[in-house]
Amino acid sequence: MAATAERIADTTAPATMPAPAGRAAQPDDQIVLFNHADWSDYERLLEIRGESAIPRLTFIDGALELMTPSWYHESDKKTLARLIEIWALEMDVALGGAGSWTIKSELAEKGAEPDECYLLEPFAQEPCRPDIAIEVVRTSGGLNKLEVYRALEVPEVWFWQQGRLQFYGLEGDQYQRLERSRKLPQLDPALIESCMSASTQTEAIRQLRRALTAAG
């Protein structure tokens, strides 16, 4: 691969987002960044990696990022996914999960693999992009994922960072910060944030179900 490799210890969010506090004792995600890569490098690594979801690959403007998530990253991702999916089931919302689906465009020369992504059902037999892409952010820096998703025309991107759920919606060709998801407007971010602070995934789910039962 004719590219320059640089090791960094950051995951990615919109530029300017600060690093989370209170994480010093927890290992960072491991990221390798190749500068001056090309589309064929990206495609070759996808082929070599095969069906594995790790490392997650992102490509934009000649920069190729390989990210191996930490246990804490994956735990947050799984807890959030379980909460969203159980919320959808309890609220009778038709939601299809696609995990870390490789979303790419050779024409735009952009590619990304979200931590989780979802489509509103029913959807096309072979959809080319999700309705919602979710990124777990544990430290600052790295590639600008919003720029990648903008080129891929993903309608909404959610970031889980510092105990907060942040929403970005595509308006025209730019993302705008949203108070709530437009795709899932009934979803209360404060409820999800509260459940995410539970001591275990099981308790997080129980807390969600208690809240939904009380509200219903």
Long-range contacts of 169-173 (CB under 8 A, 24+ apart): none
Q: What percentage of the chain carries pLDDT values higher than 70?
A: 86
pLDDT tens by residue, 177-208 = 999 999 999 999 999 999 999 999 999 999 99
DSSP β-ladder status, 56-60 and 95-97? unpaired
Q: In the predicted model, what is the mean pLDDT of residues 19-27?
A: 44
What angle in degrees, to the nearest 10, is found between the helix axes of 189-196 and 201-215? 150
CATH of the structural domain 4-215, one choice from 2.30.30, 3.90.1570, 1.10.357, 3.40.50: 3.90.1570
pLDDT for res 24: 42
Sheet holding 116-120, edge to edge: 95-97, 116-120, 132-137, 156-161, 164-171, 174-178
Q: pTM of the predicted model, to two decimals?
A: 0.86
Where exactly are the structural domains of the chain?
Answer: 4-215
Q: Is the pLDDT at 22 greater than 80, yes or no? A: no
Of 53 and 16, the structure prediction assigns the larger pLDDT to 53
pLDDT tens by residue, 25-38 = 456 788 889 999 99
Residues near 155 by beta carbon (within 8 Å), at least 6 away in sequence: 131, 132, 169, 170, 182, 183
pLDDT tens by residue, 45-97 = 999 998 887 899 999 999 999 999 999 999 999 999 999 999 999 999 999 99
Enumerate the β-bridge partners of residue 165.
Answer: 160
Residue type, 29: D
pLDDT band at 176; cut points 50, 70, 90: very high
